Structure 1
Amino acid sequence: MTYVVGYGPRGDDRSAVDLAFQFARSRPAPVVAVSVVPQGWGTPVAAGVDREYEQWAAAEGRQSAQLATADFAHHPGLAAEAVWVAGRSVPAALIDQAMARDAALIVVGSAEEAEPGRVRLTSKTDRLVHSSPLPVAIAPRSYRTTSRVTRVTVGFRDDDGSWSLLDRVAGIARASAARVRLVTFLVDPARRPVTTDVSHAQAQVIDAWMTRAVAAQAEAVAHLRTLGFADDEIEHGISAGPQWHAAVASVGWAEGDILVVGSSSTHRLAQVFLGSSASKILRNAPVPVVVVPGAGA
């Protein structure tokens, strides 16, 4: 088993490397930083130019591997390797490397334009998230840590996808000796004046939804107990707010937390589709996010 890191040197942002080593401290396995450089054309007509292009790409790959090795120095005593490969598609090359190296997951960083401490997908990582058969972990911009994973929070919706995800999260938490936290997010849209019938009906719907969510979480907690989790290893709650930012922030986050979200269970390509709720949670998360593909992946 390994942890494969999609490594692209971007200034001082070694966030993906730090996150990979966080997983390695929790469940020991080598970290492999993979830099993907452009692949040459490979046509006889462009042989001379192609050779020069390949030489340039190889030099870029070697330099990137050297920078990754320098980043490893922040995490002494943990097994790590830096490699580079040529490929026409960065996501496809990372998936190939992850499958060949028996990776538990693929780890990437956030976009350069992301605010420090926030998760943002690039066009490449967006394609990776929607095509990888393995979980993909995304580090917030400028993420730094020397801790292990201590708590795994799962966004729980009480649908088929959430129940399948819960079992996979339980496996992640058990392997990492981490606690599990179930959170159901409720974003309450702005209500109309209380004098209208619509507002009253909306309040009734929200109250009924809350009642159902509480019952579903109790059922999920009972299920975790059957998997061997003790009561002090399980947390659960409902987080409500007028916007996604407020709902996600009000949960309370600490060093060692990671958040796990799953794909949409209603989309015809559920195994590779990140639903709208999961996307909003991801964009507002202040901790690393692991996107787990559906069971059909």
Structure 2
Amino acid sequence: MKLDNVLAGYVAGPRGRDGLCLALLLRERVHARLTVATVQPPAWSAPGPSKAEESAWRAYLREQAAAMLDQARELAGDDAEYVTHPYRGSGRGLLELARRSGADVVVIGSAPGGGRGRIALGSTADQLLHASSVPVLLAPRGFGDDPPPAFERLTLAYRRGPGCDAAIKDAARTAAVLDVPLRLVTLVVSPGRRRKIEKDMLGSLRDQAAADLRAAARGRSSVDVEVLEGRNVAQALGTTTWLRGEMIICASSDTGPLRRVFLGDTSIKIVKAATCPVMILTRQP
């Protein structure tokens, strides 16, 4: 997986700063080209405006876009390209811009309303996470307040399936590019109180998950594996240690379209429970 061309979606405020700081961390590590984009609505959406009204509206949009990109420039400096892209819907606008610019990854911040250190999915993320032709990287709320100096480790949320080999290869390439270790984890979610037959089934599931992880890591040097177990996804993720410079990688659902991002139920839960950035890969054949 390439990371040569990074597209950061920017809006005014903390969430724009969170996503841009994550994009800057990625750019600095891999010396990538960075494009910072703000998506604005079309010049006029109401029917029959007068020329004066339309002119005033266009001027207002230009001023808003310029102000936002000036804020972004204060963070990212002049070593980036800054663009305004008119489109109805910020997520769909970023999708179109990613195709036009040949971006390798799209980076955005968390939607408003989520808890600090967590990722909330709004309309922009929803559009990206169900249609993007390139991986999508999400920054948790508050990431830009005190970003880590560098990435320290990649953790792939592994599940055995048709696309698992492609996901491991992508994760291994990304870890090599970032020069960080790779870890594979599998989540085992179980209810609290169990009868004996349920305990036996859970034991078998746990053993199978561990065997799948060992098989997936075989032949790859310096790859750690862990089975994370809890009553839900959040509790399972909380049973291991997460480094300050950690990034989680999730594969797209096997039911989604090829070469597109398509978030499944488990991946959605991982995104919402994660306390570090999360990258969603496209589905590979």
1:254 correspondence with 2:243? yes
RMSD of equivalent CA atoms? 2.1
Tell me by how many angstroms 1:202 deviates: 1.1
> Contact conserved, 1:69 with 1:81, CA < 8 A, in 2?
no
Which of residues 23, 27, 48 in structure 2 aligns to 1:24? Answer: 27
1:3 correspondence with 2:6? yes
Tell me by how many angstroms 1:11 deviates: 4.6
1:70 correspondence with 2:70? no
In the other structure, the counterpart of 2:149 is 147
Tell me by how many angstroms 1:41 deviates: 3.6
- The farther-off stretch of 121-130 and 78-87 is 78-87
Which of residues 209, 215, 218 in structure 1 aligns to 2:214? Answer: 218
> Contact conserved, 1:152 with 1:169, CA < 8 A, in 2?
yes
Percent identity for Structure 1 against Structure 2: 24
Aligned-partner Cα distance in 2 for 1:12–1:139: 8
Give secondary structure in 1 for the equivalent of 2:206. Answer: helix
Tell me by how many angstroms 1:126 deviates: 1.0
Give secondary structure in 2 for the equivalent of 1:159. Answer: coil
Tell me by how many angstroms 1:47 deviates: 5.1
Give the gaps of 5 or more residues in structure 1: 193-198
Aligned-partner Cα distance in 2 for 1:103–1:149: 21
In the other structure, the counterpart of 1:205 is 201
Give secondary structure in 2 for the equivalent of 1:264. Answer: coil
Counterparts in 2 of 1:12 and 1:289: CA distance versus 1, 3 Å: closer
Write out per-residue CA displacement over residues 200-225 of structure 1, whole angstroms, 9 at most, x where no aligned residue: 221111111111111111111114x2
Give secondary structure in 2 for the equivalent of 1:121. Answer: coil
Aligned-partner Cα distance in 2 for 1:13–1:274: 22
In the other structure, the counterpart of 1:235 is 224
In the other structure, the counterpart of 1:105 is 105
Q: 4+ residue runs of structure 1 moved beyond 6 angstroms?
A: none
Give secondary structure in 1 for the equivalent of 2:149. Answer: coil
Tell me by how many angstroms 1:255 deviates: 1.9
Give secondary structure in 2 for the equivalent of 1:103. Answer: coil
Aligned-partner Cα distance in 2 for 1:152–1:268: 24
Counterparts in 2 of 1:269 and 1:96: CA distance versus 1, 3 Å: closer
> Contact conserved, 2:37 with 2:84, CA < 8 A, in 1?
yes
> Contact conserved, 2:229 with 2:236, CA < 8 A, in 1?
yes
> Contact conserved, 1:39 with 1:87, CA < 8 A, in 2?
yes
Tell me by how many angstroms 1:257 deviates: 0.7
